Amino acid sequence: MLAELRAYVKEQSEAVSGLLDVYLAIGRPFLLNSNICDEFNRYCAETGCTALAGSPLAKMVVKTQEAAIRKPWLYLDVRLRVGRWRYLRIHLESLLIEEVSTVDFLRVKEKIVKDPALVDDWTLEFDLAPFERDFPKLKEPRSIGRGVEFLNRQLSSQLFQALGKGDRLLLDFLYLHKYRGKQLMLNRQIKDVGELRDGLHQADDYLADCDANSQWEVVGPELEALGFAPGWGRTAKQMRRTFALLSDILEAPEPSQLEKFLGRLPMIFNLVILSPHGYFGQENVLGLPDTGGQIVYILDQVQALEQELRNRNHDVGLDIKPQILVVTRLIPEAGETTCDQRLEPIKGTEYARILRVPFRYENGEVVPHWISRFEVWPYLARFAADAQGEIMAELGRRPDLIIGNYSDGNLVAYLLSHQLGVTQCNIAHALEKTKYLHSALYWQDNDPNYHFSSQFTADLIAMNTADFIISSTYQEIAGSKTIAGQYESYSSFTMPDLYRVVNGIDVFDPKFNIVSPGADAKVYFPYSEKKRRLTQMDDDIDSLIFGGPRPDTRGVLADRKKPVIFTMARLDRIKNLTGLVEWYANSPQLRKLANLVLVGGYIDAGASGDQEEQEQIGRMHELLNEHGLDGQVRWLGMRLDKQFSGELYRVVADNGGVFVQPALFEAFGLTVIEAMASGLPTFATCYGGPLEIIEDGISGFHIDPNHGAAAANRIVDFFTRCRQEPAYWQELSAGGIDRVESRYTWKRYANRLVTLSCIYGFWHYASDLDRQETRRYLEMFYNLQFRPRAEGMEGGN
Ligand code: UDP
Ligand code: LCN
């Protein structure tokens, strides 16, 4: 690439100099991909420089994520392809092009944002590459997020070699399985792999002569004598199948068999799910600050996981009730929520419960009030220690798997997994780093409000200690062809005066797996399923949308015959509900065609305890006043119960409406799949998960929140076409329903997650020694970087 580029720049030096002058004239030290491309295209059009378009320079421009100008050089970070970056610099006068290292690039950024004389060559550098040198990694971008498939291949060949040398890896692993002191899978009679093989043959011969439906009570004594313990199957037929799988693996391990075998092992009985921040409850919480999709996700996940674990335990012949604990923060000043209760059974499950543990100040006093997710860092170490005691008391034993959620939950998952020696799984939901422009580089400006220095440090630690990471989409890990992924953004960055990250996380690590969440099919079902409809809610919904004024609403729809554009979200800036109102306000056609109904925040800013929400409430009122929207927009400043919002989506569908998700960035977007599952044609942001969820024009539409007028036009075009061709609405509606049914279900999610837990559990065991250096390094980082920063925060311990 470099040679070609150099030759081209030499040949077209005049045009290239002109382009560089354009970049300089912008007068900003940092340019983003959109600026770089827009200016490039404008320059080509204005100068008629057709030679530039399609040239090696044009190819590089498209791939450049960011440019930094420090005279006499222009620095570029070029994303050659997913996960592969190179750094270049072009001399602004001589046009010399050189490659620079990651560290040099980061150092230049530091010199731009602070006094260059103070940039220290001995800044702390976080670099995991040397530790990972011998660690197996994926190579192809399209394999990213399918880590377990790669791992199975890796484990099979490792096992093959181990078995060849008479290694007892698998045998020792099988001996580990116990439940409350009762040995499972193997008893101590079998001493080596040879004996195991013999045992398997004899057991199979014996079972072949038994009734296929015989259970352990009948066949157990004979199998025990051969060295086996319960856990192979409920019936003789199932036991034989598991025995056969293991025999085949001992003969020649093969990835798909290994996955099947490990997935059948009785490994997960007790599960801890951590979600410390926000109001974690089952009622009156959704829409409160920091309280959105993560809560919905976890509650649905728990139901699906309990069912899956029960089925699996049943199938392996064990009558063990799986215990799932969701551990969150206890908030004494809980308002209308139940967040002040220590224990709460989870609806729709038999044994799962929420366990709440308070945050405490240094002096041991309980923190009484809600705390923003950006402020939780000083409390987490103590929370983890207290939670550990309470979890052990509740479960009566160690959990078999710990799942963290969001940055704080993932850090606590690390602390607990480390203490208890348990497999750690992370779920990010949303990583803040990519949500805010230059959040790391200008961390010092943001820290008083957002404390990103603590959060990003916690992220780096938890991502790298996790045995496996679940992501909802591919783009969450590795982005798209043109935009970097959320995890990818942690591969290198700098926080001046704090530390530089040279190799922070590798998206080619096999720990990443895409397991997408679902929409609760009991609540979000198509509008056309008339028999299931919650008609008892009709009057309430009707008066809420079309009724007169109420203290918790603003606007009264003047023409109820028009279809509704519906949106619902927490009133965060990033959700951009105010942006949607602005697009609507500025599109006379859209105002003519449809009403706008918004659910989010409060009408009265005084009712909100969150600064960003208050600011958005103010902005919303401003827009409604400025554009005189009260007869066309209905704003519901309230939180809707899940069943109610489920029916609301369907009512909007009944009258030919649409759902719009206008976020500046949306990590996944549960409302998007809920609306689609309800059969509501959906327009959603092209930044984040919806880009992958929706196939544009088939199961919905993408809109660019940075181009509001174009987004409004897309909606206008849709309504206009539907008027001429009513079947078009049906087509999009059906497309959305099919998409969710085929890709986003909790049943598929739970099956995959439990299988992954078993495989990574084995991997955790098999690779324990290999990763010790990395773990020790991260421990040091936790102690020397994270703790002092977190403890130094106001209110810190
Ligand atoms: N939600 C709700 N009532 C409300 C606001 C939101 O039930 O008043 C639910 C919504 O249906 C969805 C979740 O909260 O299930 C929001 O999740 P999403 O992933 O869209 O966004 P997040 O809030 O997690 O950023
Ligand atoms: C957090 C978000 O921001 C949403 O995009 C996700 O849908 C939600 O969590 C559930 O993972």
**pLDDT tens-place string over residues 656-691:** 999 999 999 999 999 999 999 999 999 999 999 999
- Cα–Cα distance between 467 and 151 in angstroms, integer? 12
**Burial zone of 706 (CB within 10 Å; 0-12 exposed, 13-18 middle, 19+ buried):** middle
Sorted by sequence, the CB contacts under 8 Å of residue 697 that are 6+ apart come out as none
Pocket test for ligand 2, best of 294, 301, 573 (most atoms within 8 A of CB): 294
Task: Output the 3-class SS for 95-115.
Answer: CCEEEECHHHHHHHHHHHHCC
- Ligand sitting nearest the alpha carbon of 576: 1
- Strand ranges across the sheet with 64-70: 30-32, 64-70, 73-81, 84-91, 97-100
CA dist 197 to 8, 156, 369, 532, Å? 66, 18, 60, 54
Q: pTM for this one?
A: 0.94
294 lines ligand 1 (CB under 6 A): yes
- For residue 361, the CA-to-ligand 2 centroid distance in Å is 30
Q: Tell me the CA–centroid distance for residue 624 and ligand 1, in Å.
A: 24
pLDDT averaged over the chain? Answer: 95
The angle formed by the CA atoms of residues 531, 535 and 536, to the nearest 5 degrees, is 135
- How many angstroms separate the CA atoms of 727 and 739, rounded? 18
Q: How confident is the model at residue 797 (pLDDT cuts 50, 70, 90)?
A: very low
By percentage, how much of the chain surpasses pLDDT 70? 99
Asked if 87 and 101 count as a contact pair (C-beta separation under 8 A), the reply is yes
Instruction: Report the largest interatomic distance among the alpha carbons of the chain, rounded to a whole angstrom.
Output: 88
- Ligand 1, atom 1, lies closest to the CA of 286
For residue 750, the SS3 value is: helix
Dist CA 247 CA 200 (whole Å)? 7
Of the candidates 504, 476, 454, the one whose C-alpha atom is nearest the C-alpha of residue 777 is 504
CA-CA distance, 111 to 707, in Å (whole number)?
33
The string of pLDDT tens digits covering residues 169-181 is 889 999 999 998 8
Task: For helices 236-251 and 255-264, give the axis angle rounded to 10 degrees.
Answer: 140
> Could you identify the atom of ligand 2 that is nearest to the CA of residue 663?
5
Residue 709's closest CA among 579, 564, 617? Answer: 579
Two tokens, residue 277: 């921040």
Distance CA 558, CA 329 (A): 44
The alpha helices in 29-146, defined as continuous H runs, are 33-47, 56-63, 102-113, 129-132
- Note the pLDDT of residue 766: 81
What is the position in ligand 1's atom list of the atom closest to the CA of 429?
Answer: 24
Lowest mean pLDDT among 308-322, 464-478, 716-730, 758-772: 758-772
769 or 631: which leads in pLDDT: 631
Cα 722 to Cα 728: distance, rounded to the nearest angstrom: 6
Q: Which residue from 671, 674, 740 has its CB within 8 A of the most atoms of ligand 1, so it is best to mutate?
A: 671
Give the sign of the dihedral formed by CA 133, CA 139, CA 145, CA 148.
Answer: negative
Does residue 795 register a pLDDT over 60?
Answer: no
Six token digits for residue 36: 């770089």
Which pLDDT band holds residue 692 (cuts at 50, 70, 90)?
Answer: very high
Mean pLDDT, range 106-115, rounded to an integer = 96
Three-state SS annotation for 290-306: CCCHHHHHHHHHHHHHH
Torsion 413-355-401-490 (CA) sign: negative
Average pLDDT over residues 143-169: 85
Measured between alpha carbons, how far is 464 from 777 in angstroms, rounded to an integer?
A: 10
CA 199/CA 264 separation, integer angstroms: 19
309-315 own/partner pairs: CB under 8 Å, 24+ apart = 309/268, 309/269, 309/271, 309/754, 310/350, 312/264, 312/266, 312/754, 313/266, 313/269, 314/234, 315/233, 315/234, 315/238, 315/264
pLDDT (tens digit, 9 = 90+) per residue, 222-274? 999 999 999 999 999 999 999 999 999 998 888 999 999 999 999 999 999 99
Nearest CA to ligand 1 atom 16: 293
Output the CA 748–ligand 1 centroid distance in Å: 21
pLDDT tens track for 197-214: 999 999 999 999 999 999
Check residue 796 and give its pLDDT: 47
pLDDT class for 165, splitting at 50, 70, 90? Answer: confident
Question: With a 6 A CB cut-off, is 666 part of the ligand 2 pocket?
Answer: yes
Model confidence pLDDT, tens digit, residues 388-407: 999 999 999 999 999 999 99
**Is the beta carbon of 227 within 6 A of some atom in ligand 1?**
no
Tens-place pLDDT, residues 616-629: 999 999 999 999 99
- Ligand 1: which residue has its CA nearest to atom 8? 639
CA 740/CA 682 separation, integer angstroms: 12
pLDDT at 529 over 60: yes
Query: What's the pLDDT at 625?
Result: 98
Question: Which positions ≥6 away from 201 have C-beta within 8 Å?
Answer: 247
629 φ, ψ (degrees, to nearest 5): -100, 0
3-state secondary structure of 662: coil
Distance of CA 82 to the CA centre of its chain: 18
**Average pLDDT, integer, range 607-622:** 93
Residue 451, pLDDT above cutoff 60: yes
According to DSSP, the residues that pair with 274 across neighbouring strands are 327, 404
pLDDT band for 769, please (50, 70, 90 cuts). Answer: low
| 8 Å CB contact between 407 and 294 | no
762, 401 contact by CB (below 8 A): no
Backbone angles phi, psi at 291, to 5 degrees: -130, 90
Tokens describing residue 699 = 């199961």
- Is the model's pLDDT at 536 over the cut of 80? yes
Residue 322: what pLDDT?
A: 96
Q: How far apart are CA 151 and CA 157, in angstroms?
A: 10
Q: Which amino acid is at 575?
A: K
pLDDT(188) > 90: no
Q: How many CB atoms lie within 10 A of CB 545?
A: 20
Q: Is the CB of 414 under 6 A from ligand 2?
A: no
Count CB-CB contacts under 10 A for residue 193: 17
Considering only 88-92, 110-114, 163-167, 253-257, which range has the smallest mean pLDDT? 163-167
Q: Which residue has the higher pLDDT, 116 or 1?
A: 116
Is residue 92 a contact partner of residue 72, using CB atoms and an 8 Å limit?
Answer: yes
DSSP 490: G
Ligand 1 neighbourhood includes 293 CB (under 6 angstroms): yes
Q: pLDDT band for 128, please (50, 70, 90 cuts).
A: very high
Q: What is the pLDDT of residue 1?
A: 76
Round to whole Å and give the CA distance between 105 and 728: 51
